[in-house]
Amino acid sequence: MTQTLTILIALSVLALMGSMAILVALLIMKAIKSFMKKETIKLKKPIVISAIVAPCSLFVIIVSMIVGQSTDPTAWCAHEYTVLEQQDANCTNSGYIKKMCSLCNNEITETIEPYHIWIEDSVIEATCTSQKQIKKKCTRCETTEYEKVGDLLNHSWIEDRVIEATCSHPKQHINKCSMCGTTETIEDGSTIPHSFGDWLVSIDPTTEKEGQQTRKCTVCDYSENKAILKKSPITIFDQSYSIDFLGGVEITRKIKNNTDKVIKYITLEWKCYNAVDDVIYDKFTGKSTQKLRWTGPFDSGTTTNLTANGFYNSTFSNAILTEIQIEFMDGQIINITSEEYTEIFK
């Protein structure tokens, strides 16, 4: 019933306001037309309608309020409440307040939430690791809680020890807090060079692939690697020579096949020098070099003596190889240089 009356009153108020607005608007328009000496607007019918709607709406509002007051007094009451009954809350249970209006006898009940009554029990002062803590205790149930306030204190640093620089870290100053024992490390300067041991072969080279050698720092175990050149397909050793009475030089060398394949040809070229390491020349050809090719087969792992003659100069003392080439039975040709291979000479 109350909801229906409320809707009726709201509609009546809107109708009253609308009719009054229309009436005012029409009167303003009439005044404007008269002022501008225009043709008079006929407003008799709208004014009559507004005059009827306005009092009707006002009548509906008044009647609705009277009916509403008689059917539901609380809907229009200003309420003046007095307490009928009260139960206080404690630390764990809710309380309530029951009230009644002295004008319309309307009753309401308000809930009181549980609450503690705190008092300060003790204080733990702040340190460099924890904030100030205030211990509070409830006067009714002895429950306690801690409240943290403020900031941490600064550490009180003293130098504890010094660690000298190594290859893994610079000089370190270790400071210790005199209050809490916390430590901090402050680095000073830079590291020192590594102290390496000897190079050790970690991967043996072959005639096909490079090897690897490794050395480690004796202080920090840091390691570094370096490539080892491939092993030479042939090793040349035990070079010797003789000179006959005509100045003819005969050179003999031992050659070892280090590969697992058969060598077809071995080609060597060398330059000749005297005892004071000056270049000398063949007295017939005028050349300082000599180049020969030996035909195999030279089997894998075998050692062969290669003899060369035909260079004439009685001051001969030494020959240095300038070209070494081998050709295998499968057609592969390799030029051997000190930039690519080790163990060329022995």
Q: Give residue 195's pLDDT.
A: 92
Note whether 307 and 333 are same-domain residues.
yes
**Could you tell me if 144 and 91 are in contact, meaning their C-beta atoms sit under 8 angstroms apart?**
no
Note whether 253 and 335 are same-domain residues.
yes
**Could you tell me if 68 and 77 are in contact, meaning their C-beta atoms sit under 8 angstroms apart?**
no
Note whether 135 and 35 are same-domain residues.
no
Note whether 108 and 128 are same-domain residues.
no
Note whether 169 and 264 are same-domain residues.
no
pLDDT 10s digits, 140-165: 888 999 889 999 999 999 999 999 99
pLDDT 10s digits, 59-85: 656 655 555 555 555 666 788 899 999
Q: 296: closest CA among 259, 327, 252?
A: 327
Identify the CATH number of the domain in which residue 300 sits.
Answer: 2.60.40
What total of structural domains would you count in the chain? 6
Distance CA(315)–CA(256), nearest Å, equals 29
This prediction's pTM: 0.49
What residue ranges of the chain have pLDDT lower than 70?
1-13, 15-16, 18-19, 23-27, 29-76
Domain residue limits at 301: 232-342
Distance CA(13)–CA(11), nearest Å, equals 5
Q: 153: closest CA among 127, 182, 179?
A: 127
Asked whether residue 31 is domain-assigned, the answer is yes
